[in-house]
Amino acid sequence: MNSQQAMSSTFCRCRVGPGDVRHCYALHMTVDREQLLAELAARIEQIVPAEALARQAQGAVLIDVREDDERAAGTVAGAVGIARASLPERIAAVVPDRNAQILTLCGGGTRSLLAADTLQQLGYTHVASVTGGFRRWKAEDLPLRFDTFDEDAAERYSRHLLLPEVGAAGQARLGAARIALIGAGGLGSPAALYLAAAGVGTLTLIDDDKVEKSNLQRQLLHADARIGMAKTESARMTLGALNPRVLIHTHERRLCAENVEALIRDNDAVIDGADNFPTRYLLDAACRRLKIPLVYGAVHRFTGQVSAFDARRDDSPCYRCLFPEPPAAGEAPNCAEAGVLGVLPGIIGLLQATEAIKLVLGIGTPLVGRLLCFDALAARFRELRLPRDPGCPGCGEKAEFSGYEDISRFCAAH
């Protein structure tokens, strides 16, 4: 008999086999928790939100024991926010009188019971838990308070606010961010949709094309009724309907040597959704000079790739570390010539949006120095190292910038 079996046979009378010890442990943990909550429910007074509101008006102190990021999405008007784990250290400063009436509230009513138990153990004699918690309080349309965001933003971004890696501070950072998207087509469509949904404050769309029927197989910003409309205007309509809080700037023009810096300046990140090499090379040079992170994406038939080039970092490669020279036109046909699986740009564009959000928030590990490749037919991702090339003509030790016009001529020669 091994140690786990011995422990099970010593402390447990469940009829489980030797291989079920972990299941037995989890079962007992669940039973123990349910028993504890049942005991607390029998011992601690529980009141509905309407009664809590009435007692609050009579002087009771309502403590919202949810975490800070949860309360960023809204709390009860007049409540004091103290996370449950912080109650022993903080409650005395807020409520020094052990005979004061205290009401505890959480998301659904469980943590508030545990918090009420903690308060009783600390010597507080008049404690009640609010049944149903904040969710029921909100559903019953009782008074709320929004400290960080207004009610629309708190509800719209509530799932972000629950993430410790994002939270209120991160959502505010997204709201202040500016991201430029080069192209409102296959890659730009999914990227723009999810960046707008995420609450990025300002999106700049740059594209000189008009909507064609063949676009609708993969460019979900557009619709059949908008064929012939400028893609930037069609995109503005879709994104505005999705999230009217986001400011959309549109430029119905082609990115070129004369305007590249002016169009992307002052952005926090740039999404490369271009479909030609001259634009990509111009964009790469401008992002390096302006120190703006560039999120690269490309698709071909059933495959795609994504990377991030961050000129703010000394170790970051650039686009020309990957492609020192543009290939001949016949070696890299575009979608109109080679075709593309309709869902593929959606996958790659969403990865680009993810990288842009990570860069804005400063979380996770961005794809700097890595090339992520996706094969849709094999349903397989593969990651390749992409270190900075000391001999790179764009960012290498001997690289020289002679102007954007020279880059255009260089690309035209290929």
Spatial distance between the Cα atoms of 23 and 8, rounded to a whole number of angstroms: 11
Cα 306 to Cα 174, 282, 309, 356, 376: the distances in Å are 22, 18, 10, 12, 14
Helix axes 21-43, 110-121, angle to 10 degrees: 70
Spatial distance between the Cα atoms of 158 and 69, rounded to a whole number of angstroms: 9
Classified as helix, coil or strand, 359 is helix
Largest CA distance in the chain: 84
Q: Which of 287, 321, 335, 392 is catalytic?
A: 335
Is residue 335 among the annotated active site residues?
A: yes
Q: Where are the beta strands (DSSP E) in 177-234?
A: 178-182, 202-206
Spatial distance between the Cα atoms of 162 and 154, rounded to a whole number of angstroms: 11
Contacts of 400 (CB under 8 A, 6+ apart): none
Handedness of CA 169, 170, 172, 178 (dihedral sign): positive
Residues belonging to the active site: 335
